[in-house]
Amino acid sequence: MSEEITEYIVRELGRHRKENNIIFAVAKRANLDWGQAKELVEEVKITQSARIARRQSPLLLVLGIGTMIGGVVLSVSVAFGTLSGVIIFLPALPIPYLGNAVLFLTGLAMIAGAAWGLGRLVLDVTGS
């Protein structure tokens, strides 16, 4: 396996390119058939996973932090609104304060999901 091909695969996977496009380009560059190129891309994904994760981390970090902030803002604003007596009425949920509960739990789910994703990102980047 050529170092140039490996670097290309890592770079393209780090840019979130479609795997089929990478396989096609690798097959053309290295004169391989589709199956061989696919095996090569899979091998690089496994052996270079930490490098690929480091290249993907800036976008994922921004998305994770943004989601976490959005969840905190949603949960806190719904909690303060509920304590102030505001009823968030959702047409599908005609029970008073049920809309408040749904939005509050949605915010908590956003926080939990972002924390889990950021934790996975840290583990992938550190190679643990």
Q: Are residues 91 and 42 in the same domain?
A: no
Q: Are residues 30 and 75 in the same domain?
A: no
CA–CA dist 123, 116 (Å, integer): 11
Annotate 19-32 with b (16+ C-beta within 10 A) or e (fewer): eeebbebbbeeeeb
Q: Are residues 76 and 24 in the same domain?
A: no
Q: Say if CB 90 and CB 102 are below 8 A apart.
A: yes
| Phi and psi at residue 90, to the nearest 5° | -105, 130
Task: Find the domain containing 19 and state its range.
Answer: 3-47
Q: Say if CB 70 and CB 113 are below 8 A apart.
A: no
How many structural domains comprise the chain? 2
Q: Are residues 114 and 68 in the same domain?
A: yes
Q: Are residues 62 and 85 in the same domain?
A: yes
Q: Per-residue DSSP letters for 49-87?
A: HHHHHHHHHHHHHHHHHHHHHHHHHHHHHHHHHHHTT--
Residue pLDDT tens, the chain, 128 long: 588 899 999 999 988 899 999 999 999 998 999 999 999 999 999 888 888 888 888 888 999 999 999 999 999 999 999 999 888 887 777 788 888 999 999 999 999 999 999 998 888 778 76
